[in-house]
Structure 1
Amino acid sequence: MRQLALQIAGNQARVWVFGSRLNESALGGDLDLMLELPEPVDNPVLIATKMPAQVSRVMSGRKVDVLLNAPNLMHLPIHDIAIKEGIML
């Protein structure tokens, strides 16, 4: 996943896994990822659609949600949760 993120979002991207997939006792089905980008993003929609599609293919069709965190995008509480509770790959 990290390699896919670097290909799609650039070498400075950091990838976080967060949400129910981190809890082994939970039966969460989807994979929640956050891409943290140090530079403003010109086309966030392209990244937010390309990344889950490619990760889903690698993971045999598992549903993947991607959250973007970049200086020019709105910062939401979910970004803080992803960093606090997630694991950086």
Structure 2
Amino acid sequence: MRLTSTEQQTLHDASLRWFGVPPRLFGSRVDDARRGGDIDLYIEAEASLSPQEAFQRETHMAAELYRALGERKIDIVVNTGRLDLPIYRLAREQGVWL
């Protein structure tokens, strides 16, 4: 995993604060052999969360991470259980818990 322990903790804490669950890191940052790439996070939010509320929390979390980690490309994928998208399956299969 190509994140420092401080970055991992920051991502973990922000996800707990905004969604109440830890995130999974997926994509290129999981592979130590690769270089560069954005930070891809997958979060399984509670099903009772409306899409609007999920988006609002995602926006607040992204702003918090921008302040904490600086100008980094961070993609936050939030699953509220309403859809079964291929990206959700990929993140669950290849993701690593933070």
* Alignment partner of 2:45 out of 33, 37, 45: 37
Greater share of helix = 2
Give the share of equivalent positions with the same residue, in percent: 30
Q: Which AA in structure 1 matches 2:43?
A: L
Check if 1:7 corresponds to 2:17. yes
Deviations 1:27-68 (A, max 9, x none): 233100011123321212112222222223222221110001
Give the corresponding residue for 2:80.
70
- Give runs of ≥4 in structure 1 deviating > 3 Å: none
Is residue 29–residue 62 contact of structure 1 (8 Å, CA) maintained in 2? no
Q: TM-score normalized by structure 2? A: 0.76
Alignment of 1:56-67 (within 5 A): 56-67=66-77
Q: Gapped runs of 5+ residues in structure 1?
A: none
Report the Cα distance in structure 1 between the residues aligned to 2:47 and 2:83, rounded to whole angstroms: 14
Aligned residues: 86
Q: TM-score normalized by structure 1? A: 0.82
Q: Report the secondary structure of 1:14's partner residue.
A: coil
Greater share of strand = 1
CA RMSD of aligned residues (A): 1.5
